[in-house]
Structure 1
Amino acid sequence: MPHTAVPSEIDVRTLVPMQRHQKIFQLVDELAPGGKFVLINDHDPKPLYYQLEAEHPQQFSWAYLERGPEVWRVEICRLSKAA
């Protein structure tokens, strides 16, 4: 199994808001098909979902693991390429 540099979890609460989307999109771009990570945030990252879907339509799954009120955890997975 090839080694990937993408962490299994990314906690963006330590980043200033301006840097959060940039960091998340960097990780998304590095995901191999079938790869995934869990995003940890201090608010519902719904705007990120819309941005992701706009830039990479139907290439990712988005599943809430925890929905606040203090912590949101979302599993973001790159879908395997369609055959």
Structure 2
Amino acid sequence: MLDVHAIPHFVRHAAILGALASLNPGFALTIKAGHLPAPLLAQVEQLPGSFAYEVLVNGPEFWLVKITRESL
């Protein structure tokens, strides 16, 4: 699990997208955020391959979102 609060805001999306891009199919990254990361999820759709996401905890204190790489 990656708590995004530990990543400086100005590089947060780039760091998460880089981590997701390095995943092999079938592997996942769960992120913990203070809100539903809808802008990040839109950016994930632009990465090569396909990804699926599942909201594990839907706030209000925090959100846990599992992002799984389905294909390269």
> Comparing both structures, which one devotes a greater share of its residues to strand?
2
| 1:59 positional shift | 0.2
TM-score (ref. length: structure 2) = 0.88
Percent of aligned pairs with the same residue?
35
Structure-to-structure mapping, 1:65-76, within 5 angstroms = 65-76=56-67
1:25 to 14, 17, 20: 17
TM-score under structure 1 normalisation?
0.77
- The unaligned stretches of length 5 or more in structure 2 are none
The alignment's C-alpha RMSD in Å is: 1.6
CA distance in 2, matches of 1:50, 1:72: 16
Q: Could you tell me how far 1:80 is from its partner in structure 2?
A: 3.6
Counterpart residue identity of residue 26, structure 2: G
- Counterpart in the other structure of 1:45: 37
Measured in 1, the distance between the counterparts of 2:71 and 2:18 equals 18
Structure 1 gap segments, 5+ residues each:
1-8
Q: Which runs of 4+ in 1 moved over 3 A?
A: none
Structure number with larger C-alpha Rg:
1
